[in-house]
Amino acid sequence: MTNILYDKIFGSNLKNNKIFLYTESEEVSYKNFTTLTNKLANILVSHGLNPGDRVAVQVEKSVTQLGLYAATIKAGGIYLPLNTAYTPHELNYFLSNARPKIIICATDTMGKLEKLYSSKKASFLTLNANETGSLREKLKSSALSFKAANRTNEDLAVIMYTSGTTGKSKGAKLTHQNLSSNCTILEKSWEFSKNDVLLHMLPTYHTHGLLVACNLLAMVGGSMIFLPKFNVEDALRWIPKATSMMGVPTFYTRLLDNPKFDKNLSENIRLFISGSAPLSADTHTMFKKRTGLSILERYGMTETNMSTSNPYRGKRIAGTIGKALPGVEIRITDRVTGEVLPDGSIGVIEQRGENVFSGYWEMPEKTQDAFTPDNFFITGDLAKRDKNGYLTLVGRDTDMIISGGLNVYPKEVENLIDEIDEVLESAVIGVPHPDLGEGVVAVVVLKRKLLDRKKIQKTLQPNLAKFKQPKFIIYLENLPRNAMGKVQKAALRKQYKELFES
Ligand code: MLC
């Protein structure tokens, strides 16, 4: 019996007394983490989990939460992590679409969700930020051993939702093979080993924090300083004890803004990695000046895991996302004709390899649209490749916004704004933001005056995660349009490019 992902990621360190996780309050060995995983897997199975069933998890980052991920995989389930910022309204969509067998969330979320989502076919368990809840209660009497379910390469391990251009999110299906093969490539490419201690301050409901950081460190038998979220003071305190860190560009710009962050503090660090949003060449250069270290920028997506990387040994070129990782085929194509373009031309990044997901959950048409006939995934990111194979991102084929490493699809926000009686139409754009990379801005045309000036914000609040809500709303008489009547978002982005600069 094999369970491809579990055996690969957690299998070799099961009985190890070495510390896997350091938190502010405890140290968890691999051995204790395995016991926790087994107990959690027994609880999941006792709630009816069969191989192939989904386990939806919307909880704060914690040791138990990471154990739930391992337990779901070990029990043969499909782990479905959900951003804690999602509102019950958004959750209702994910749950109705994925139909999980088990839902694990905070106690107060359960109260709200039960009203919206019919729980007939799902069991609810609770886990709160302070590690209380029904799940922790059940741990006390759960059995210590658990036999891993058989899972092959093609079986699904994780579904992660990504926003879509039409405003409806799509569940990216990630197989045991997608995740385990990518991890092996990263181990070799970034030279991770059991000697590594990774400072982990990312959320664990996205690819970056869960499938890159946690999978990799568990697989090599390393350790993680596992903190609930990023803040500069905690980072400064823990960086001297770490050998590596992964973050979105906002982590690095916030560190640079603090004069206490310097070369001495980071002398034990062998590798700072950045991804999920473009790192500006300026930040790369300033970071090198301050610490003597070049941030390694890499590129990936929920659908593809990690696809390109600057080298561990060799030249890390500021402003580039490096070269295709081993086993990942990348080509640049014309956005209209699909024709493969020569190096130096700007076009859409398409990729193929074991890293690429197996399609969108129960959305065959969207899956078909996302792939070329020869099975390359069309990313929608625009880039050019130089003669040495280094890729530079130059924009996006869609008008997606990346705010602090989180993707926001304008359509989802526009749909909600346009439903307001007084609104004629809206255009949601991303403009440069000094802290978040891009900030969400709504440009709104009213049919008639808003009696309540905060009506738009009040409408969005219960329906949309905070990070998707506009940080600024601009009211115009008309939206700029081209001769075809299409809203010219590029013109709006240009006009408001300095909005967040002061
Ligand atoms: C929080 N807020 C955000 C935000 N995060 N707004 C826009 N964009 C974001 N990313 C809101 C908060 O709710 C708060 O609202 C206000 O903005 C300021 O909060 P903050 O305290 O400054 O934010 P903070 O909690 O520090 O979070 C910022 C952050 C965090 C950048 C540290 O968002 C983060 O950890 N991002 C990482 C996301 C990530 O892991 N992405 C990987 C995706 S995987 P208010 O009004 O209450 O003050 C992927 C694939 C790949 O993309 O290749 O990696």
Q: Is residue 311 included in any domain, yes or no?
A: no
Q: Is 403 touching ligand 1 by the criterion CB < 6 Å? A: yes
| CATH number, domain with residue 127 | 3.40.50.12780
Answer positive or negative: Cα dihedral of 36, 37, 42, 45.
Answer: positive
Same domain, 84 and 212: no
Q: Which residue puts its alpha carbon closest to atom 15 of ligand 1? A: 466
For residue 276 and ligand 1, the question of a CB distance below 6 A is answered with yes
Rounded mean pLDDT of the chain? 95
pLDDT tens figures, 184-224: 999 999 999 999 999 999 999 999 999 999 999 999 999 99
Strands (E) across 329-485 are located at 329-333, 347-352, 377-385, 391-396, 401-403, 406-408, 423-433, 437-446, 472-476
Q: Are residues 28 and 145 in the same domain?
A: yes
Q: How many helices (H) and strands (E) in the chain? A: 15, 24
* Cα–Cα distance, 436 to 499 (Å, whole number): 13
Residues 138 and 213 occupy one common structural domain: no
Cβ of 248 closer than 6 Å to ligand 1, yes or no, is: yes
Which among 122, 151, 180 is the end of a domain? Answer: 151
Q: Which atom of ligand 1 is nearest to the CA of 207?
A: 44
CATH (domain of 471): 3.30.300.30
How far, in Å, CA of 200 to CA of 133, rounded? 24
Comparing CA positions, the residue from 163, 230, 178 lying closest to residue 402 is 163
pLDDT in tens, 294-330: 999 999 999 999 999 999 999 999 999 999 999 999 9
In a domain, 279, yes or no: yes
Residue with CA closest to ligand 1 atom 18: 467
Residue whose C-alpha is closest to residue 75's, from 105, 58, 52, 98: 52
202 C-beta closer than 6 A to ligand 1? yes
On whether residue 161 sits in a domain, the answer given is no
Instruction: Establish if 396 belongs to a structural domain.
Output: no
Phi, psi (rounded to 5 degrees) for 429: -130, 165
Is 432 a residue whose pLDDT tops 90? Answer: yes
User: Cβ(76) to ligand 1 under 6 A?
Assistant: no
Instruction: Summarize pLDDT for 127-140 with one digit per residue, the tens.
Output: 999 889 999 999 99
Q: Do 14 and 129 have their domain in common?
A: yes
Domain termination site, one of 239, 264, 294: 294
Work out how many domains the chain is built from and give that number. Answer: 3
* pTM (predicted TM-score): 0.96
For 238, the 3-state DSSP assignment is helix
CATH for 254: 3.40.50.980
**Atom nearest to 440 CA in ligand 1:** 7
User: Would residue 87 count as lying in a domain?
Assistant: yes
Q: Amino acid identity, residue 411? A: K
CB 149 within 8 A of CB 74: yes
> The domain containing residue 64 runs over which residues?
4-151
Residue 265 lies inside a defined structural domain of this protein: yes
21 and 141, same domain (yes or no): yes
Q: Does residue 201 belong to any structural domain of this protein?
A: yes
In this structure, are 195 and 139 located in the same domain?
no
Question: Are 177 and 354 contacting, i.e. CB atoms less than 8 angstroms apart?
Answer: yes
Query: Contact, 309 vs 296, CB < 8 A?
Result: yes
**The ligand 1 atom nearest the CA atom of 407:** 52
pLDDT tens-digit profile of 368-398?
999 999 999 999 999 999 999 999 999 888 8
User: 304 C-alpha vs ligand 1 centroid, how far in Å?
Assistant: 22
Ligand 1 within 6 A of CB of 88: no
203 lines ligand 1 (CB under 6 A): yes
Per-residue pLDDT of 61-114, as tens digits, reads: 999 999 999 999 999 999 999 999 999 989 999 999 999 999 999 999 998 887
pLDDT reported for residue 500: 95
Residue 218 sits in the same domain as residue 99: no
Q: Which residue's alpha carbon is nearest to atom 2 within ligand 1? A: 467
203 and 118 co-located in one domain: no
Considering the domain architecture, whether residues 421 and 497 belong to the same structural domain is answered as: yes
Q: Ligand 1 centroid vs 224 CA: distance in angstroms?
A: 21
SS3 of 295, please?
A: coil
- Residue 265, pLDDT above cutoff 70: yes
The reply to whether 328 falls in a domain is no
Does residue 137 sit in the same domain as residue 65?
yes
129 & 11 share domain: yes
The answer to whether 440 touches 413, Cβ cutoff 8 Å, is: yes
Give me 324's structure tokens. Answer: 């295709």
443 and 495: one domain? Answer: yes
Pick from 151, 173, 201: which residue ends a domain?
Answer: 151
